[in-house]
């Protein structure tokens, strides 16, 4: 088979209801593109029939390659596995839930052929819940100010990358990574194009409120030391305020006698508790970074691949 020009990478986690339509539409679009291509689907430990559907589809379509994880490692680990397996010059990622219409892929590819390293996409009329959109808005804002990479929509996984960028991504074996941001750090020429966004066809979003908070925290701590510096700033300011409060208390004690100072104890308590809070917060934050270093030095594999399936046949990786 000819070397593919375009590789499509799709993470799949419990998407049995969306897969048949996704595979059908993807096939039509890619055949229409007129370039050699491959589609890599990474089964991220689905507990439904996703794997069977994928396996069955691969026996009919030689352009499909299925990577099967031994358990759930998360969307980004799945995309990384797809990246490592991708052979195309242009690598496109998208979600399996049909929120990113496969029909938009040729637009991205065309833009890439103009010589960009990364082509992102901005979702026009995003079809998500109000809560989900608000969360994304905050994440986008904080992310661009913390990382200094100015893009409009980090959450949209419908993106295209050049092979070199993907290679660099794979080489930086970080544990917790947010692919769009990381890619933009390494890419020379970046652009964004508007794409359509659809309602999640079937099934539920795999991101809960807690998972989103976790993601934001990951983003900030894995891309900058700003929280450490902010904590130091808060610490210094608190200390200065505490000194000021002490001066006021001493002055009051000297000028107005000990009666006044007794009621001052409560102020002192309040200050003390605040201080303890800040201290605990700092320790926690330091722990986060230390934990991160610990995770990095262990160099654990980020995922374990059970099988690779092509033409309906299982191979060991």
Q: What are the residues binding ligand UDP (CB under 6 A)?
A: 11-13, 15, 44, 72, 74-75, 78, 95-97, 99, 200, 205-207
Return d(Cα 183, Cα 178) in angstroms, integer.
Answer: 9
Q: What is the nearest approach in angstroms of Mg ion to the Cβ of residue 120?
A: 17
97 binds Mg ion (CB under 5 A): yes
Residue 65 touches which of Mg ion, ligand UDP, none (Cβ within 5-8 Å per kind): none
Contacts of 256 (CB under 8 A, 6+ apart): none
| Ranges of H-type helices in 1-104 | 19-33, 50-60, 75-85
Q: How far apart are CA 288 and CA 66, in angstroms?
A: 35
The residue among 15 and 38 lying less far from Mg ion, judged by its C-beta, is 15
For the bound state, the minimum distance from the C-beta of residue 147 to ligand UDP, rounded and expressed in Å, comes to: 19
Distance separating alpha carbons of residues 212 and 217, to the nearest angstrom: 9
**# chain residues binding Mg ion, by CB under 5 A:** 3
Nearest by Cα to 296 from 170, 169, 174, 171: 174
Give the other-Cβ count within 10 Å of 126's Cβ: 18
Residue 78, contacted partner among Mg ion, ligand UDP, none, CB below 5-8 A by kind: ligand UDP
Interacting partner of 72 out of ligand UDP, Mg ion, none (Cβ under 5 to 8 A depending on kind): ligand UDP
Q: Under the criterion CB under 5 A, does residue 99 sit at the interface with Mg ion?
A: yes
Could you tell me if 63 and 37 are in contact, meaning their C-beta atoms sit under 8 angstroms apart? Answer: yes
Radius of gyration of the chain (CA): 25
For the bound state, the minimum distance from the C-beta of residue 97 to ligand UDP, rounded and expressed in Å, comes to 4
d(CA 2, CA 153): 34
Nearer to Mg ion, 43 or 221 (CB): 43
Q: Examine residue 58 and tell whether it contacts Mg ion (CB under 5 A).
A: no
Minimum distance between the CB of residue 260 and ligand UDP, rounded to whole angstroms? 58
Question: Shortest gap between Cβ of 96 and Mg ion (angstroms)?
Answer: 8
Question: Interface residues with Mg ion (CB under 5 A)?
Answer: 97, 99, 200
């Amino acid at each position: 088979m000819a070397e593919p020009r375009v590789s499509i990478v799709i993470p799949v986690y419990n998407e049995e209801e969306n897969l048949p339509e996704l595979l059908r539409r993807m096939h039509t679009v890619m055949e229409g593109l007129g370039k050699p291509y491959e589609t890599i689907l990474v089964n991220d430990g689905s507990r439904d029939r996703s794997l069977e559907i994928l396996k069955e589809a691969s026996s009919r379509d030689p352009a499909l390659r299925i990577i099967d994880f031994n358990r759930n490692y998360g969307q980004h680990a799945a995309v990384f596995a797809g990246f490592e397996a991708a052979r195309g010059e242009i690598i496109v990622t998208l979600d399996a839930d049909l929120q990113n219409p496969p029909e938009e892929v040729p637009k991205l590819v065309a833009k890439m052929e103009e010589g960009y390293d990364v082509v992102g996409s901005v979702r026009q009329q995003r079809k998500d819940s109000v809560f989900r959109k608000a969360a994304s808005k905050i994440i986008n804002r904080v992310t661009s100010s913390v990382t200094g990479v100015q893009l409009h929509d980090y959450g949209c996984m419908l993106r295209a990358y050049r092979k070199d960028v993907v290679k660099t991504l794979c080489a930086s074996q970080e544990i917790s990574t947010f692919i769009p941001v990381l890619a933009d750090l390494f890419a020379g020429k970046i652009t964004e194009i508007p794409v359509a966004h659809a309602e999640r066809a079937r099934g539920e979003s795999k991101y809960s409120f807690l998972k989103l908070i976790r993601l934001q925290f990951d983003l900030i701590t894995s891309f900058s030391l700003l929280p450490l510096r902010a904590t130091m700033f808060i610490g210094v300011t608190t200390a200065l305020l505490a000194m000021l409060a002490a001066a006021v208390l001493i002055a009051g004690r000297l000028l107005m006698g000990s009666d006044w100072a007794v009621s001052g104890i409560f102020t002192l308590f309040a200050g003390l508790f605040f201080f303890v809070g800040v201290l605990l917060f700092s320790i926690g934050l330091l722990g986060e970074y230390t934990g991160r270093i610990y995770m990095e030095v262990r160099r654990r594999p980020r995922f374990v691949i059970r099988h690779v399936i092509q033409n309906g046949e299982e191979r060991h990786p």
